[in-house]
Chains A and B, each alone.
Chain A
Amino acid sequence: AQSVTQPDIHITVSEGASLELRCNYSYGATPYLFWYVQSPGQGLQLLLKYFSGDTLVQGIKGFEAEFKRSQSSFNLRKPSVHWSDAAEYFCAVGMDSSYKLIFGSGTRLLVRP
């Protein structure tokens, strides 16, 4: 079955430290890949997306993600975290022509001052 896994429920990093949030998917072909961020009580904001081409994609707010086909992964990274990055992060995958997205369970990022 198609699925998206975010193995880390919570991650805590110090402000200024680097960040990597993991995302793995299960699908037979190359999916469409997204990372969204959600602040408490808010909707989702798109950080970045991968459809095809260069496997390292740049997004907003200094985030980037790398698609690794061999590992079925699309990990999100940021070299230096800011306190305002504290939020819930969702990886999402589009896998078929229905345009539906399957979301991972989310990773809550906490930032230590």
Chain B
Amino acid sequence: GAVVSQHPSRVICKSGTSVKIECRSLDFQATTMFWYRQFPKKSLMLMATSNEGSKATYEQGVEKDKFLINHASLTLSTLTVTSAHPEDSSFYICSASTITGYEQYFGPGTRLTVT
């Protein structure tokens, strides 16, 4: 149980285009979803927290107009990287938690490369 999927697993896009990453909880309802960014050989940096049906809460320094997060249902959240640039290239990981709170279940990650 508690499986989280991400799609796509890898994406390459041209600079200036937008990319959407999906995060789905497959067998449970995710009250809260989290989006992280991980640089090579680094820890996870929390980008934003989203609750179903409400606006995402972004961490300090994360541009909300660049990283659009939607959490339209209890099983799906999306992260759209708008007008992507090479510096946005990274490994993006989502996680989901239930109403009980702290335990987060992580997706397999999405490798974004912007050329």
Q: Which residues of A does B touch, CB under 8 Å?
A: 32, 34, 36, 41-46, 49, 51, 90, 94, 98-101, 103-106, 108
Contacts and interface: CB of A to CB of B under 8 A. Distances in A.
Nearest to B59: A100
Given A100-B34, A104-B43, A106-B43, A44 B49 contact: no
Contact of B43 (A46, A49, A103): A103
B102 A43 contact: no
Interface residues of B, number: 24
Interface centre among B32, B102, B103 (most CB of A within 10 A): B102
Contacts of A108: 41
Contacts of B93: 43-44
B3 to A, nearest CB: 11
Interface stretch (B11-19, B64-72, B73-81, B107-115): B107-115
Interface string B17-60: 00000000000000010100000011110100100000000000
Interface of B: 4, 6, 32, 34, 41-44, 46, 49, 91, 93, 95, 97, 101-109, 111
Contact of A90 (B32, B44, B105, B109): B44
Nearest to A104: B43
A46 B32 contact: no
B109 A43 contact: yes
A32 B102 contact: yes
A44 B111 contact: no
Given A99-B32, A100-B46, A100-B49, A44 B101 contact: no
Given A46-B105, A46-B106, 10 more contacts: A41-B91, A41-B109, A43-B106, A44-B44, A44-B93, A51-B102, A90-B43, A99-B32, A99-B101, A101-B46
A60 B110 CA distance: 25
Contacts of A105: 42-43
14 contacts: A34-B103, A41-B91, A42-B109, A43-B4, A43-B107, A44-B93, A49-B102, A90-B43, A98-B49, A101-B34, A101-B46, A103-B44, A105-B42, A106-B43
